[in-house]
Amino acid sequence: MVMAYMGLKDFLAGTQVAVALSGGVDSAVAAALLQERGMKVVGVHLRLAAGGPAAEHLSALAQGLGLSWCEVQLQEDFSLEVLDYFTGEYARGRTPNPCVRCNAAIKFGRVWELLQEAGVPYLATGHYARLQPGANGTLELHRGADRTKDQSYFLQRLPRELLPRLLFPLGEMAKKEVRRRYLDLGLPLAGDYRESQELCFIPQGRYQEFLLERLGSLGPPGDLVDCRGRVLGRHKGLEYYTVGQRRGLGVPAAAAYYVVEIRPQTNQVVLGHREELFSPGLLATGVNWLIDPPGPEMTARSVIRYRHPGVAAQLYLENPGEVRVVFAKPQSAVAPGQAVAFYQGDRLLGGGWIEERI
């Protein structure tokens, strides 16, 4: 493991909490709030891919906060754990969720390993999520108070035993309050700063170009078919399509077509009208629980993608890592490869990968 700061263990000696300092507003305010609590805070910037904030901006930010900081080079880990996963899922005709993967493998995985080696007891981030004590004294992960910015969905794969070592200072705050606090602190904005809406490794959202550069080639063209197998046209390659997509299909019809399914085995993209997008349930695999593994059946609210409002569902546990989810009401665009999260009220129970739609 190559790190920009080779003496990381010595550098972090005596630190109470390391803040994952991204260079943006949220993590900076999180650091400031922890300092106000009297904690000894150090900023750790994770260099994951090309681009990102300049070292000069990070230095100015740390100086404004009055804290020390270091940069940890994690490009190799990120490439193996996230980028290879991302390209592999598209090659399988699935819709990946690299942010869920990155949080588990990198931000709360590899980084926590480094902090443990250095003897740092706590890791903090600028996520909008809350940790609250449960009835039996164990910590529970809950949605952020600002439901428009809640990021608990992306934390569904964290190991449960890590929760007591995490701090989410922004969990009770609204985004507008965080922005105001940042300005009140007089902290610098990067010259090209804007709140990220895209993947950090594909800033302009041109993921086909990224896949082509990383893989060397994309899949061949093939047939666009309807749900009965009737050929409707030709597709450009499976990587250009995701479940639920409406635009760019090139098939004129009285009622709009949507991508209903992607079949890598036959190199086909299945199109259907809006009503054919709906599914009564899904099968989730690789399920990670943030609660004691439940019995064979339970009721929970299932969130099938970020910003999905969630739907009441019955969960049938085939085994601890596999759950069959039956929705109270059919849901649109259930995409294999995406992550599904399970909630009771605001409490995040866990989540898994959507293997297939029912």
Under the banding of pLDDT at 50, 70 and 90, the label for residue 24 is very high
- Cα gap 129→290, rounded to integer Å: 14
| 332 against 5, higher pLDDT | 332
Q: For the chain, first and last CA: distance in Å? A: 42
Closest by Cα among 223, 220, 224 to 237: 220
What pLDDT score does 2 carry? 33
Report CA-CA distances (Å) from 14 to 20, 117, 163, 256, 269: 17, 13, 21, 61, 56
Closest by Cα among 292, 355, 348, 353 to 155: 348
pTM as predicted: 0.93
Question: Phi and psi dihedrals of 29, rounded to 5?
Answer: -65, -35
Residue 308 has pLDDT above 50, yes or no: yes
Enzyme catalytic residues: 102, 200
Residue 203 has pLDDT above 90, yes or no: no
- Per-residue pLDDT of 75-134, as tens digits, reads 999 999 999 999 999 988 999 999 999 999 999 999 999 999 999 999 999 999 999 998
- Per-residue pLDDT of 251-283, as tens digits, reads 999 999 999 999 999 999 999 999 999 999 999
> What secondary structure letter does DSSP report for 216?
S
What pLDDT score does 96 carry? 96
> What secondary structure letter does DSSP report for 202?
B
What pLDDT score does 202 carry? 86
CB-side neighbour CA atoms (13 Å) of 279: 21
What pLDDT score does 274 carry? 95
What pLDDT score does 199 carry? 83
Under the banding of pLDDT at 50, 70 and 90, the label for residue 200 is confident
- Per-residue pLDDT of 31-51, as tens digits, reads 999 999 999 999 999 999 887
The tokens for 329 are: 């009401």
Averaged pLDDT score across all residues of the chain: 92
Domains of the chain plus CATH, in order, are 8-184 (3.40.50.620), 219-272 (2.30.30.280), 278-357 (2.40.30.10)
- Cα gap 83→95, rounded to integer Å: 13
